[in-house]
Chains A and B, each alone.
Chain A
Amino acid sequence: MRADFNIHKIKVIKKLNESTCWIEFGDSPEAEPGQFVMVWLPGVGEKPYSIASIDPFCLLVVDVGPFSHALSKLSPDDRVWIKGPLGQGFSLKGRAPLLVGGGYGVAPLFALTKLAKKSDIPVHTCLGAAKNSGLLLVDEFLTLGCKVSLTTEDGSQGEKGWVTQVVEKALQGGVYDTVYACGPVGMLSALAGLCKKLGVDYQISWEAHMRCGMGLCGSCEVPRVYDPALPEGWLACFDGPVFQYCHSGH
């Protein structure tokens, strides 16, 4: 792994909704689902992004600030500077995964789903958002043959409430062996607690304020209040972003 920037040319950029776009590059890096890259636009800045698809290499970009806005305005053949893949990703274990994505936390789960499908592993994906416009990649998960359960807090699509309620019901059936999740911290903390209570292994991709992305500056420590199972001094960029918890201790 070397942390220098390499140019990637945009092949396709398509709008998924008002504020979200999908960028496909013309190449495929050696990476695992759950790893991230640092994207640099000279003169604009640099931000971390989860890899949303490895082959072809794709990123999911939600327009939430000046950087993501500039990124989402790019066109095919435009160049983007990318450092990575960085960090530790998901490792697909067992035969019955339950994927849980909150908002734009779906990105790394999509890459994981593609990997599972390669091994003919059936995937159940639970997606949650505040409202229906926040539910991303729904058709894409369906196209890959996933079972998809939707939740919105305002009830504008799918079940009304939190995605964790749907997950709890699903886990009580005793079918799933591992939960893979990415999304807002509150959702992830609740899921970690739920999985521990029900004796289900989990792999959670944590989000933190990343600066160097290389495990040196100490900016992206994930505090144990989010999940007491995390080791002390756990760095999202280097030890994670994915944290794996196994009840067997392995």
Chain B
Amino acid sequence: MQVKLGEISLRNPLILASGIMGTSPTLLKRVAQSGAGAVTAKSCGLHKRDGHPNPVMVEWDHGLLNAIGLTNPGVDEEVPLLKETKKALEEMGVLLFASIFAGTVEEFGMVAEAILRAKPDLIEVNISCPNVHDDYGMPFAAAPESAAEVTSTVKACVGAIPISVKLAPNVPNLGRIAEAVVGAGADVITAINTMPGMIIDADAHSAVLHNRIGGISGPALKPIALRCVGEIARAVDVPIIGTGGVVSGRDAIEMLLAGATGVGVGSAFWYRGQDAISLILDEMEVYLQENGIPDIQGLIGKGVGK
């Protein structure tokens, strides 16, 4: 099930989504061992962030809602962790993706330059976290101009390492934003981040999450993600990492049909357990065998007329 994201080659399309399992080398290694083609570390900023107070995550009828709040040790602390992870993953043939966020365009450049020291196989540029509005204002992913500005700044800093810009679902014209980031040098697009949402407890008369607003993930996010991936696939020609609500092999296949080349897996670790990746991979194999499909390449974009 090997796939190519531009110049880089993954043993299969499944990629640990950023934010799941944090930045611990041993946890990321565990996910790699369970079969992932690549793992993405938790987004990292210039300085340490503790994240939001609890509650930070809750389940509801159709998915999960979280506001962890970009907990990370800061880039200087993170680089040695990523180096250690990279070394362990290389022996397994699994790629390591770093992920970065920042509050200003300049800071994006600084974090990108610093994270290079870890020599990740790809850098995800997270311009779409929905949970840090109070600290950082509107996400850069909200408009083509700001999204492109961050993209070109990061691209100018990272040399030959490919970058993937992570887009938000809740924007008026996703196709235009995708065109803007590709025009500014994005090698790959990751779509999507979680969808902003809120859960209120009728008895408590209170939002459940401490941050009130969180990001919706899990099954509720899947149709939104499929729509976004399809829209991006029709607008641009770069590979897409389709992320959002994939918990089964069929979900992953649907994401490929929408136009994704890589498939992000996150909340599935709650729904399917720590073996989520290997379960999804097995189910994909069964689907391909049952349908007599020799190669997943032929599926990419087929569901959206691409």
Q: How many angstroms between the C-alpha atoms of A83 and B206 in the bound complex?
A: 16
| Chain A residues closer than 8 Å to B203, beta-carbon distance | 7, 79, 81
Report the nearest A residue to B60, measured CB to CB.
A4
Q: Which residues of A (192-239) have their CB < 8 Å from a CB of B?
A: 211-219, 221, 232-233, 235, 238-239
For residue B84, CB closer than 8 A to chain A, the reply is no
- The 27 sampled A-B contact pairs (Cβ below 8 Å) are A3-B57, A3-B58, A4-B60, A42-B201, A42-B204, A42-B205, A45-B54, A46-B54, A46-B210, A211-B51, A211-B57, A212-B57, A212-B66, A216-B57, A216-B66, A216-B270, A217-B66, A217-B71, A218-B20, A218-B22, A221-B27, A232-B26, A233-B21, A233-B24, A233-B30, A238-B274, A239-B274
Let me know if A5 and B29 touch, CB within 8 A.
no
| Chain B residues closer than 8 Å to A217, beta-carbon distance | 19-22, 56-57, 66, 68, 71
For residue A38, CB closer than 8 A to chain B, the reply is yes
| Chain A residues closer than 8 Å to B19, beta-carbon distance | 216-217
Q: A45-B53, A81-B201 are in contact. Are A219 and B22 (CB under 8 A)?
A: yes
Let me know if B59 and A3 touch, CB within 8 A.
yes
Q: A7-B203, A233-B29 are in contact. Are A218 and B42 (CB under 8 A)?
A: yes
Let me know if B54 and A83 touch, CB within 8 A.
no
Chain A nearest CB, measured from B23 CB (Å) = 8
Q: How many angstroms between the C-alpha atoms of A5 and B209 in the bound complex?
A: 11
Chain B nearest CB, measured from A36 CB (Å) = 14
Q: A45-B54, A219-B22 are in contact. Are A212 and B68 (CB under 8 A)?
A: yes
Chain B nearest CB, measured from A230 CB (Å) = 10
| Chain A residues closer than 8 Å to B23, beta-carbon distance | 218
| Chain B residues closer than 8 Å to A216, beta-carbon distance | 19-21, 57, 64, 66, 266-267, 269-270
| Chain A residues closer than 8 Å to B27, beta-carbon distance | 218, 221, 233, 235
Q: How many angstroms between the C-alpha atoms of A7 and B204 in the bound complex?
A: 9
Q: A212-B66, A217-B68, A221-B24 are in contact. Are A81 and B270 (CB under 8 A)?
A: no
For residue B188, CB closer than 8 A to chain A, the reply is no
Report the nearest A residue to B68, measured CB to CB.
A217
For residue A243, CB closer than 8 A to chain B, the reply is no
Q: Which residues of B (1-37) have their CB < 8 Å from a CB of A?
A: 19-24, 26-27, 29-30
Report the nearest B residue to A43, measured CB to CB.
B206
| Chain A residues closer than 8 Å to B75, beta-carbon distance | none
For residue B80, CB closer than 8 A to chain A, the reply is no
Q: How many angstroms between the C-alpha atoms of A37 and B137 in the bound complex?
A: 34
For residue B208, CB closer than 8 A to chain A, the reply is yes
Report the nearest A residue to B21, measured CB to CB.
A218
Q: How many angstroms between the C-alpha atoms of A40 and B207 in the bound complex?
A: 12
Given contacts A216-B21, A217-B57, 13 further A-B contacts (CB under 8 A): A3-B57, A40-B54, A40-B208, A42-B206, A216-B66, A216-B270, A218-B23, A221-B24, A221-B27, A232-B26, A233-B24, A233-B26, A233-B27
For residue A95, CB closer than 8 A to chain B, the reply is no
Chain B nearest CB, measured from A229 CB (Å) = 15
Chain B nearest CB, measured from A144 CB (Å) = 33
Chain B nearest CB, measured from A211 CB (Å) = 5
For residue A11, CB closer than 8 A to chain B, the reply is no
For residue B303, CB closer than 8 A to chain A, the reply is no
| Chain B residues closer than 8 Å to A3, beta-carbon distance | 57-59, 64, 270
Q: A81-B201, A211-B54, A211-B68 are in contact. Are A4 and B59 (CB under 8 A)?
A: yes
For residue B93, CB closer than 8 A to chain A, the reply is no
Let me know if B54 and A215 touch, CB within 8 A.
no
Let me know if B54 and A81 touch, CB within 8 A.
no
Q: How many angstroms between the C-alpha atoms of A232 and B24 in the bound complex?
A: 11
Cβ contact of B24, chosen from A2, A38, A218, A238, cutoff 8 A: A218
B interface footprint on A29-40 (CB within 8 Å = 1, 0 otherwise) = 000000000101
| Chain A residues closer than 8 Å to B270, beta-carbon distance | 3, 214-216
Report the nearest A residue to B266, measured CB to CB.
A216
Chain A nearest CB, measured from B6 CB (Å) = 28
Q: Which residues of A (58-92) have their CB < 8 Å from a CB of B?
A: 79, 81, 83
Q: Which residues of A (1-51) have their CB < 8 Å from a CB of B?
A: 2-5, 7, 38, 40, 42-43, 45-47
| Chain A residues closer than 8 Å to B266, beta-carbon distance | 216
| Chain A residues closer than 8 Å to B29, beta-carbon distance | 232-233
Report the nearest B residue to A212, measured CB to CB.
B57
For residue B223, CB closer than 8 A to chain A, the reply is no
Report the nearest A residue to B66, measured CB to CB.
A212
| Chain A residues closer than 8 Å to B305, beta-carbon distance | none
| Chain A residues closer than 8 Å to B53, beta-carbon distance | 45
Let me know if A215 and B269 touch, CB within 8 A.
yes
For residue B55, CB closer than 8 A to chain A, the reply is yes
Cβ contact of A215, chosen from B201, B210, B274, cutoff 8 A: B274
Q: How many angstroms between the C-alpha atoms of A107 and B57 in the bound complex?
A: 25
Chain B nearest CB, measured from A242 CB (Å) = 16
Report the nearest B residue to A231, measured CB to CB.
B30
Chain B nearest CB, measured from A238 CB (Å) = 7
Let me know if B210 and A214 touch, CB within 8 A.
no
Q: How many angstroms between the C-alpha atoms of A45 and B54 in the bound complex?
A: 6
